[in-house]
Amino acid sequence: MQKLGIGIVGGGYMGKAHAVAMRAVASVFDCPLRPVLERVCATTVQSASNYKKAYGFNTMTTDWRVLVNDPKVEAIIIASPQKTHREIAEAALSLGKPVFCEKPLGASLADAEALVACAKRTGAVNMVGFNYIRTPASQYARKLIESGALGEIYWFRGEHTEDFLADPAIPASWRTQGLANGVMGDLAPHMVNAALALMGPIAEVCARRSTVHKSRPLDGGEQEVSNDDQLQFMCRFTNGADGHLFFSRVATGRKMGYAYEITGTKGAIRFDQEDQNALWLYKAEGPEVERGFRKILTGPAHPDYGAFCQGPGHGTGYQDQIIIEARDFLQAIHSGISLWPTFADGLEVSQVLAAAEQSHASGRWQPVFPE
């Protein structure tokens, strides 16, 4: 099995998840490449040294340029703040190195457009990190829809709701400053990606974003919150279906409220990430008195489940989603062909959210692709 040197920019929440995934992936899946944790980059010598020791990297640095230009680093994972994504990815792609970039693709639509252009120009393998859609249950939901089991789809409701800023006493931080760090830039991309994956392209949106807690304590005083706590929009898909999406970081009681409902002429499905190993399915068939949603517990018969566990209902977890992403990234590198979701797919998410921002500003429906 050929070895592949991996460099990860950022060693925090997502940096750790990707490091663990790269160490585990060849044990879970039959991979053509065996990743080696070559170098990690963090903002300080102390944190970089800690990550190197804790995750098992061979070397560390505080300069992402050193990591990108290291000949032993053959593929790069970007798990740093979104404002850094474009510069790092462009440098790596220009060297022909495969890049896996955490969502969103950039801090703006212009960033996303530039990265897609760079990826096309260089031909380097590229992927964006939308891990939640990779649960066995959501993969099965996609198959149900594609098979026509739900009939003609005419309604989608999605949300990504959490409560990590629900308490107004939580101090101001980088999360409460700048539109890119608000709920539109942080939580919304995941569910927009899910909507596109399950339903297809979005034609137009009508959006409103709001700040619930307009200031937060900081250094004995108060700092104004300059971004959004909540975002919602109605939408129309190009296939004619209607939809509504809601995102919040102040949804008291919600810890991982990545959830969707899809309704068609022959059936419906419901999913909630807080119960990620189950999919609720309704089929409009049989006697009326016996109809109702039934809970399907995922097992080896569902996509990618069997690689982790042979017991139905035993379940997969968050880290397993990242391992599935690692498998896909390695397969893409081995084949030389980028796999979904590519930078182009990440751009489509950015285009939807840019249209939502324009709609909020105008108070009107906004086409995603104006003529």
Q: Return all residues near 148 (Cβ < 8 A) that are at least 6 apart.
A: 266
Question: Residues of the chain with pLDDT > 70: what percent?
Answer: 100
Q: Range with the lowest mean pLDDT among 257-261, 273-277, 288-292? A: 288-292
pLDDT at residue 1 tops 90: no
Query: What rounded mean pLDDT belongs to the chain?
Result: 97
Q: How confident is the model at residue 242 (pLDDT cuts 50, 70, 90)?
A: very high
CA 108 – CA 362 distance, rounded (Å): 19
pLDDT at 371 over 80: no
pLDDT in tens, 278-332: 999 999 999 999 999 999 999 999 999 999 999 999 999 999 999 999 999 999 9
DSSP per position, 120-189 = HHH---EEEE--GGGSHHHHHHHHHHHHTTT-SEEEEEEEEE--TT-STTSPP-GGGSSGGGSHHHHTHH
Domains present along the chain, CATH in parentheses: 2-132 (3.40.50.720), 133-316+349-362 (3.30.360.10)
The answer, yes or no, to whether residue 260 has pLDDT greater than 90, is yes
pLDDT in tens, 218-236: 999 999 999 999 999 999 9
Inter-residue contact 136 to 220 (CB < 8 Å): no
Q: Stretch 18-26: mean pLDDT, rounded?
A: 97
Please state whether the peptide bond connecting residue 98 to the residue before it is cis, i.e. omega within 30 degrees of 0. Answer: no
Whole-model pTM: value is 0.95
Structure token pair of residue 226: 């300059």
Angle at 144 between CA 143 and CA 145, to 5 degrees: 90
Confidence of residue 19 (pLDDT cuts 50, 70, 90): very high
DSSP string for residues in 11-30: -SHHHHHHHHHHHHHHHHS-
Quick one: pLDDT at residue 87? 98
pLDDT digits (tens, 9 = 90+) for 137-171: 999 999 999 999 999 999 999 999 999 999 999 99
